[in-house]
Amino acid sequence: MQIAQGGYVALVMTIADPKTPHEALSGPNATRWREAMQAEIDNLIEKLYLAVVKYDSKGDVEKFKARLVARGFSQQYGVDYTETYSPVIKQQTVRLILALGTFFGEEIEHMDVPQAYVKAGQDTDIYMEIPAMSLYGLKQSGRMWHTDIDATLLEIGLSKSLLDPCIYYNWSTHGLTVLGLYVDDIIVFSQDHEYLDAIRLRLEQRYQVKSLGDVKRILGINVHRKGGALFLEQTKLIEELLENNDMKDCHPQSSPLPLDHKVTEDGQPSAMSSSKMREIIGSLQWLAGCTRPDVAFATSLLSRFAPNEHHEHAIKRILRYLQGTKHYGLGIKPDGANEMHVFTDADWAGDKSNRRSTTGCIVEAYGAIIHWFSKQQATVTLSTMEAEYRQRLEEQGSAVSLWCDNQSALKNMANDISSTRAKLMDIEYHFIQDEVKKGKVVVGYCATDEMPADGLTKALLIEWFTEARRMMHVVSREDSVAMKALAKSVQLDGGC
């Protein structure tokens, strides 16, 4: 190329852009191109392949799955991402959807969104070794995916719950539709079948969702339908726990903990490593929170302080109990009442190490136990009345009926009773009295031998524990009698 300027002619040599990497690296400027390529690679987020095996509800291999992900840990805040939060559906919400679908006699459809994250847009420019849209592994990918599908579900006409941002619903002249979203897993039931067809069609068009039919496995929980009832179990997890800890042939026990258990923080170091014990306790916590409230107290107790020799003995005892009940799970009966009940109990000063009370709570709705917990109260109480009264407040929410087995606590909740200790309790705990007076909460007495939350506060005699387990709706899949009569009905006017 010739350029004329000030009477002079300059000859400017232009370099043709190479059409392929091979051409660039084999030409006279190979060194310069190699340096440019390396600079670009240094600014890219690396990729990583993850391989997982997916199982079906029978524990058989469903498919081998490989996923290309970005190494999100190399991202820099403010450069590659800003906001990362995305909501995750609560376990109790999943159980509520299953209970509602069973209550209305509808199939609960399970849908899967293949490669969900790459179907959402991206809020920043991201370069990876293989460029894409939102990628698995990026810090903001979950948020971008939820924002995208949230907008789609609202466009369809669904409303978002204020209590759980992962549950959507719609009321029409034909009935109720409820949809639960867990990342790329969807469960939905509807009394309005035409509206459900429209939802399915829109999701198929937008995200290529696949309908898997009536839900059989969700969040690692196997779901079985039997005579209109549902049965939730995690037998495979229990078997893996037993196998991984050389206890698959152990002698079973009839309860998770004996009455004279010695689980305290005062104990000698265990032969089992602390990391191993924490790993087992973590698995037990997951099991207790999903389908096995009957081991919730035992696992809660093990989580209160650093592992020692007492933990090892207790862990083995719990695993022996699970060996004998590995086919047990949570039952949801089809003929439940359109009511919600909260059962609460407290074991006053039961922890000998700090004299704090242990509280237990069970929430029942539409024939299912949808929520439960066992935990230690944050403060020391000086009477059973105060322990149970504090527990009532901690669990008070939108429930219709509150049941406990302490008459003093009930009187204190329902009336303006004045006593020295009652006055010493924080003013905030009297909030529950206002709720009772407004008619938002009905309180009632439930005898100890009919209190399902009793098994969440302490170790029980085997016969008492067996009854408490039944009232928690924990039954054997093979026990057809138990599946038909999971728990006693609650009568508001006559106690429970």
Per-residue pLDDT of 246-286, as tens digits, reads 999 999 999 999 988 877 777 777 788 888 989 999 999 99
Q: Which has the minimum average pLDDT: 37-41, 206-210, 222-226, 462-466?
A: 37-41
**pLDDT-based confidence at residue 78 (cuts at 50, 70, 90):** low
CB 270 within 8 A of CB 309: yes
Q: What is the pLDDT of residue 318?
A: 96
Whether 99 has a pLDDT exceeding 80, the answer reads yes
Residues 493 and 368: their CA atoms lie apart, in Å, by 21
Q: Which has the minimum average pLDDT: 106-120, 129-143, 272-286?
A: 129-143
Q: Provide mean pLDDT across the span 127-136.
A: 49
Task: Please report, for residues 24, 81, 290, 330, 452, the alpha-carbon distance to residue 95 in angstroms, rounded to integers and kept in the order given.
Answer: 60, 34, 9, 10, 18
Whether 421 has a pLDDT exceeding 60, the answer reads no
SS3 128: strand
Residues 33 and 206: their CA atoms lie apart, in Å, by 41
In terms of residues, how long is the chain?
496
Q: Provide mean pLDDT across the span 22-41.
A: 80
Whether 218 has a pLDDT exceeding 80, the answer reads yes
Q: Which CATH class is domain 48-219?
A: alpha beta
Task: Please report, for residues 110, 194, 266, 422, the alpha-carbon distance to residue 150 in angstroms, rounded to integers and kept in the order given.
Answer: 18, 21, 50, 47
Q: Provide mean pLDDT across the span 227-238.
A: 92
Beta-bridged to residue 225, according to DSSP, are: 230
Mean pLDDT of the residues in the chain:
78
Q: Which has the minimum average pLDDT: 26-40, 82-96, 131-145, 402-416?
A: 402-416
Residues 148 and 131: their CA atoms lie apart, in Å, by 20
Q: How many CB atoms are located within 10 Å of the residue 213 CB?
A: 10
pLDDT digits (tens, 9 = 90+) for 317-336: 999 999 999 999 999 988 77
Spatial CB neighbours of 479, under 8 Å, sequence gap ≥ 6: none
Question: pLDDT exceeding 90 applies to what percent of the chain?
Answer: 38
Q: What is the pLDDT of residue 392?
A: 46
Q: Provide mean pLDDT across the span 229-258.
A: 95
Q: Which helix (H) or strand (E) holds 178?
A: strand 175-182
Whether 244 has a pLDDT exceeding 70, the answer reads yes
Q: What is the pLDDT of residue 145?
A: 86
**pLDDT-based confidence at residue 140 (cuts at 50, 70, 90):** confident
Q: Provide mean pLDDT across the span 457-467.
A: 92
Q: What is the pLDDT of residue 116?
A: 77
Neighbouring C-alpha atoms within 13 Å toward the C-beta of 199: 26
Whether 397 has a pLDDT exceeding 50, the answer reads no
Q: Provide mean pLDDT across the span 12-24.
A: 75
Q: What is the pLDDT of residue 221?
A: 94
SS3 170: strand
CATH 3.30.70: which residues of the chain? 48-219
Q: Provide mean pLDDT across the span 374-400.
A: 52
**pLDDT-based confidence at residue 170 (cuts at 50, 70, 90):** very high
Q: Which two tokens stand for residue 63?
A: 């498919």
Q: Which has the minimum average pLDDT: 1-15, 146-160, 250-264?
A: 1-15
CB 358 within 8 A of CB 347: yes
